[in-house]
Amino acid sequence: MTAKIRSPIKLENKKLSGAEIIYRCLELEGVEYIFGHPGAILLTLLDLFLKRSNIKHILTRHEQCAAHMAEGYARASGEVGVCLVTSGPGATNLITGITDAYMDSIPIVCLTGQVATFMVGNDAFQEADIVGMTRTVTKQNYLIKEIKDLAPTLKEAFHIARTGRPGPVLIDMPKDIILGEAFFQVPEEVNIRGYKPRTKGHPRQIKRVAETIKEAKKPILYVGGGAIHANANKELMKLAETADIPVTWTLLGAGSFPSDHDLALGMLGMHGTAYSNKAVDECDLLIAVGARFDDRVTGKISEFATGAKIIHIDIDPTAIGKNVPVDVPVVGDAKSVLHEVNKLVKRQKRTVWRKHVDNLKEKFPLTFETAEGGPIKPQEAIVTLSEEVGEDAIYTTEVGQHQMWAAQFLQLSFPRQFISSGGLGTMGFGFPAAIGAALARPDKLVIDVAGDGSFQMVLQELATAVQYGIPVKVFILNNYGLGMVRQWQDLFMDRRFSEVSLEVGPDYVLLAAAYGAKGLHIDDRKDLRPAIQEMIKTPGPFILDVAVDPDELVFPMVPAGGANRDMILEDPRKKKPLKGKLGALPDN
């Protein structure tokens, strides 16, 4: 696609190089940081970052991390994140990060170098068909063939990335385009045929939403990441409090509603709270806001919320009805739709339902056990971290057991406070994402809650944090293994632990010192709180390596293929081994 130029802005009466055009387009989009790794094709563009000061280039140690840093920046700020890499392996190394952004609807623009246009298709040195490779994991992608298309395409790319359901956009830029010259003309607005995201909900459907809420006896609000993308937290709060509706959320919806609110039910799904899953199972109305009914939330779909009518509010019409039948569909921006719904919803009190839900909370609380002289429990480490840090920090996570404990036990109070890889479940996401988030929000303390397995995939980015003085903190729950896979082997493979041991690993204190950062290791619970305090007050990057009980498992837990009502509430090893079949194992 090519942007339709209605009233072009002609900013120069002379031709500019492709590199200059790229830089000026980024300036016009308000880009502050660009994350990347250099290559010969990018030399003239990189030279501009040296000469200019409006945009700061952050040198990553791996291209995948450039994409995750752009994601972290976007997730923390709500703006478009940008990364820049060279051709061939530089571009292909981005694919995991691009896919992660695509799965979680994160707006990033990925700029890749490419061999000269006349060499494309000739298997030239470091040529890769990155457009073809990323076609299914980008919202849109482009190969620039003529320099006159460069500025309009950049304008269009940012527009597509940030509007509608957000997502990644890739622009592949051949060497001769970057070195070529053209007049700098940028469209005042983007007009793409067939791309008109609907933000306003249909009035008739909004009226149906309000009527259905009024009629419901046992409603639940089910909130996903789309509510955060839409900045709909105030509207969500108003609806919940006005109509007296308990609120549950997905992993990506964490932070959309305060954890300590009386109406909060915490996360639902495979490792959600028992009371959340039970309330959803019993509700007569489920109001989904910016959520997509993914398998980790629903469990066995045919057994999910079987007695409930379903309202689904989403800006992406293809998401509605994709996984579950919907009674009242509303296509539109969550903030806009909820604003209109709130005009129609009258104050209600649902005394019986609220009392029942509160009883579920009391009956099925999140718990963990500690023993005097025993190992540190990962849950107590998270709880202590949350208590010491308070409500004002931003947390990122890697992927695994620690991610679930963080989602269960961190106290969250505002949107974009919890940044995690949801749909793709990318190990190694959290640390580079924390670097991006820290640059987006320098006013916040940013902490990566990490597992030792995930962190070892990206620990080289300590160099990036130290080089630019980015004060990210890494809080490692170190169980010396790949915990989530080990958990499934523990429960369903008769404790036959295959390829999950990480007993050979770095000394994280020495590792931090090697990169010029600070670090601390603890294995005694009496040292936990003082160590967290030291981590918080120490300037610059810091690694706190907390040795935790390697045998601790994440509960509640819904077995793969099971209904949410079949969740395991406590460690079955205390009673008898839990048997399973290979066919019941999870996909990852």
Q: What is the pLDDT of residues 73-112, one digit of tens each?
A: 999 999 999 999 999 999 999 999 999 999 999 999 999 9
**Annotation says 125 is catalytic:** yes
**Residue that terminates a domain, selected from 141, 158, 187:** 187
Sign, CA torsion 37/166/419/393: positive
* In a domain? residue 193: no
172-176, 308-312, 566-570: which has the minimum mean pLDDT?
Answer: 566-570
How much is the mean pLDDT over the chain? 94
Tokens of 170: 């890739």
**Same domain? 85 vs 225:** no
Distances (CA, A) of 297 to 38, 280, 334, 563: 40, 11, 20, 10
**Same domain? 178 vs 290:** no
3-state secondary structure 392-445: CCEEEECCCHHHHHHHHHCCCCCCCCEECCCCCCCCCCHHHHHHHHHHHCCCCC
Given a cut of 70, whether residue 576 has pLDDT beyond it is no
What DSSP letter does each residue of 98-156 carry, written as one string? HHHHHHHT--EEEEEEE--GGGTTTT-TT---HHHHTGGGSSEEEE--SGGGHHHHHHH
**Annotation says 460 is catalytic:** no
* In a domain? residue 578: no
State percent of the chain over pLDDT 90: 87
**Residue that terminates a domain, selected from 304, 336, 363:** 363
**Annotation says 63 is catalytic:** yes
**Annotation says 119 is catalytic:** no
Domain enclosing residue 241, as ranges:
203-363
**Same domain? 129 vs 253:** no
Q: What is the mean pLDDT of residues 281-286?
A: 98
Residues 6+ apart with CB under 8 A from 211: none
Given a cut of 50, whether residue 585 has pLDDT beyond it is no
**Same domain? 43 vs 128:** yes
**Annotated catalytic residue: which of 1, 126, 388, 570?**
126
Give the model's confidence band at 3: pLDDT under 50 very low, under 70 low, under 90 confident, else very high. Answer: very low
358 three-class SS: helix
**Same domain? 271 vs 311:** yes
* In a domain? residue 164: yes
Q: What integer pLDDT is reported at residue 578 of this predicted model?
A: 39
Q: What is the mean pLDDT of residues 116-131?
A: 92
Place of tokens 């190992």: 375
Q: What integer pLDDT is reported at residue 11 of this predicted model?
A: 62
Q: Is 164 left (phi over 0), alpha (psi -120 to 50) or beta?
A: left
**Same domain? 183 vs 227:** no
**Same domain? 249 vs 386:** no
Q: What integer pLDDT is reported at residue 4 of this predicted model?
A: 40
Could you give the CA distance from residue 399 to residue 537 in angstroms, rounded to a whole number? 26
| Cα atoms in the 13 Å half-sphere on the side-chain side of 465 | 33
**Same domain? 316 vs 419:** no
**Annotated catalytic residue: which of 484, 535, 557, 567?**
484
**Rg (alpha carbons) of the chain, rounded to whole number:** 25
CA 130-131-136 angle, to 5 degrees, is: 105
State percent of the chain over pLDDT 70: 95
* In a domain? residue 577: no
**Annotation says 237 is catalytic:** no
* In a domain? residue 176: yes
Give the model's confidence band at 581: pLDDT under 50 very low, under 70 low, under 90 confident, else very high. Answer: very low
What DSSP letter does each residue of 456-507 carry, written as one string? TTTGGGHHHHHHTT---EEEEEE-SB-HHHHHHHHHHSTT---S-B--S---
Q: What is the pLDDT of residues 547-557, one digit of tens each?
A: 999 999 999 99
**Annotated catalytic residue: which of 29, 63, 79, 380?**
63
Given a cut of 60, whether residue 586 has pLDDT beyond it is no
Tokens of 127: 């040529």
Q: What is the mean pLDDT of residues 289-299?
A: 95
**Same domain? 321 vs 393:** no
Higher pLDDT, 552 or 14: 552
* In a domain? residue 371: no
Q: What is the pLDDT of residues 530-544, one digit of tens each?
A: 999 999 999 999 999
**Same domain? 163 vs 213:** no
Q: What is the pLDDT of residues 254-275, one digit of tens each?
A: 999 999 999 999 999 999 999 9
**Annotated catalytic residue: which of 10, 14, 51, 125?**
125
Q: What is the mean pLDDT of residues 366-394?
A: 93
Give the CATH number for residue 477.
3.40.50.970
**Residue that terminates a domain, selected from 302, 329, 363:** 363
Model pTM above 0.85: yes
How many domains is the chain partitioned into structurally?
3
**Same domain? 165 vs 215:** no
Q: What is the mean pLDDT of residues 233-253?
A: 98
Given a cut of 90, whether residue 40 has pLDDT beyond it is yes
* In a domain? residue 573: no
Q: What integer pLDDT is reported at residue 249 of this predicted model?
A: 98
